[in-house]
Amino acid sequence: MQSTSSRVVILGTGGTIAGTAASASDQVGYSAAQLGVAQLVAAVPELAGVPLEAEQLAQLDSKDMDHATWRALAQRVARHLERDEVAGVVVTHGTDTLEETAWFLQRVLAPRKPVVLCAAMRPATALSPDGPPNLRDAVRVAREPGARGVLAVLAGQVHGAAEVQKLHAYRIDAFGSGEAGPLACVEESRVRMLRAWPEGDALGLGLVQADPADWPRVEIVTSHAGAGGAIVEALCAQGVDGLVVAASGNGTVHHALESALLAAQRQGVAVLRATRCVFGRVIPVAGQALADAGGLNPVKARVELLLRLLAARLSAGAPCPPRTSRAARRT
């Protein structure tokens, strides 16, 4: 990979890409987030001579991703993107919540430079780890002229934040973009475009400046055979601010669960429907009382609803309320 004057900042957050196992043949019984980002860069010979900066922002298994890390990541990414000499930012991340982090960053920043998330399905100690080639490709995409938006680069494919999903539990080609397909492919260090780079307006860092402990609470419930409303009632009693229902088919919800969701909505809880199907989206039907998530899957719909509630709070100039039950708020 040839050097240019454009720099790439690599922010490490942990994940399987930084994981280690006692045996090189063990690809599932490993410990995530063991190696530092500088070690990950050193393991990719093709990056030698490329102008890079490596910074450890967090060190966690992405199943444990939290709002405080999201806020710190958004702030740090934004700061680096403001630098003229920085072409783009790469974030090493775990695979379990990569799609959620991607959508959070896209909605908050909608960057005009590329922010590329990369990850691995195998630990760094595996016989044939997928982390090094994914990191190499991510840096290549971060330096691609004209690239923009929050992207994910895995197994030679470039995905957009809105579509990327983890579709398989352990294969190295675990990620896809559903019916939309990938944005591009990385072939022999060349980026071949398939679709346009992501567009969008940034909600802005001001949206997430509040203490994450005071951010709205948004949870996901699932519609299934025999579903009831008790979990919704319990969450409302705890003071939940928003609910996403992972609905069946084209956004259909079991009648007992739907009744509880409608009651929660009347109490002031924001509710969105997203389909639990991997392919397709909820097609809106006139007169439906529960809004749909606009094609987002349930975990991204939760991020979206969280940000909408933060935006509404900010526009109203309202302070973050203390954590009390919704019943207590009504009294």
63-81 pLDDT per residue, tens: 999 999 999 999 999 999 9
Catalytic residue (one of 4, 13, 16, 20)? 16
Pairing mode, strands 7-14 and 52-60:
parallel
pTM exceeds 0.75: yes
Range of the domain at 283: 213-330
DSSP per-residue letters across 111-165 = -SSEEEEE--SS-TTSSS-SHHHHHHHHHHHHTSTT--EEEEEETTEEEETTT-E
Verify that 90 and 59 share a domain, yes or no.
Answer: yes
User: Does residue 97 carry a catalytic annotation?
Assistant: no
Residue 79 located in a structural domain: yes
- Is 30 part of a structural domain of the chain? yes
**Is residue 73 domain-shared with residue 156, that is, in the same domain?**
yes
Final residue in a domain of this structure, among 130, 159, 193? 193
CATH of the domain at 30: 3.40.50.1170
Residues 25 and 145 in one domain: yes
Give the pLDDT confidence of 151-203 residue by residue, as tens digits. Answer: 999 999 999 999 999 999 999 999 999 999 999 999 998 999 999 999 999 99
Tell me: do 262 and 227 sit in the same domain. Answer: yes
